[in-house]
Amino acid sequence: MILDMTQQLAGLDGKAMMEGETPIMLRTVCVNALMATLPKDNENTGDKKLAIFTIAQKITQEDKPDLDIKDVDLIRDRVGQAFGPAIVGPAFPILNGTPCVLKLADGGKEK
């Protein structure tokens, strides 16, 4: 599955979510979720942790990585554990293959 990691997340108002002056991108959310230490991570083997790191590395290096479905499922699981509804809400549809449509300041829409 090819995912566009440069997609910006849309807030409840349909406008790009921002962290200061910087739009929040899918890449940032996914890498942060993958690299976070989550409660169940102490049960993971070294090989599992290496696999997580490798996915994060691929996402960091490629704007549109081609990921296995199992890797996308892992990302979804970790995003769901690491973040609340404000991030999970706009990130999950993108991770399911639905592009984010942002509202522009003039009321139009951008894909």
The answer on pLDDT for 88 being more than 90 is yes
Over residues 35-58, the mean pLDDT reads 95
What's the confidence (pLDDT) of residue 107? 55
- Find the domain containing 102 and state its range: 18-110
In a domain, residue 46? The reply is yes
In a domain, residue 24? The reply is yes
Over residues 91-95, the mean pLDDT reads 95
How many domains are there within the chain?
A: 1
What's the confidence (pLDDT) of residue 109? 58
Over residues 48-55, the mean pLDDT reads 97
Confidence band of 100 (pLDDT split at 50, 70, 90): confident
In a domain, residue 41? The reply is yes
| Percent helix, strand and coil across the chain, each to the nearest 5 | 50, 15, 35
pTM over 0.95: no
Within a 10 A sphere around the Cβ of 22, how many other Cβ atoms? 11
In a domain, residue 5? The reply is no
Rg of the chain over CA atoms, in angstroms? Answer: 14
φ/ψ region of 73 (left if φ > 0, alpha if ψ in -120 to 50, else beta) reads alpha
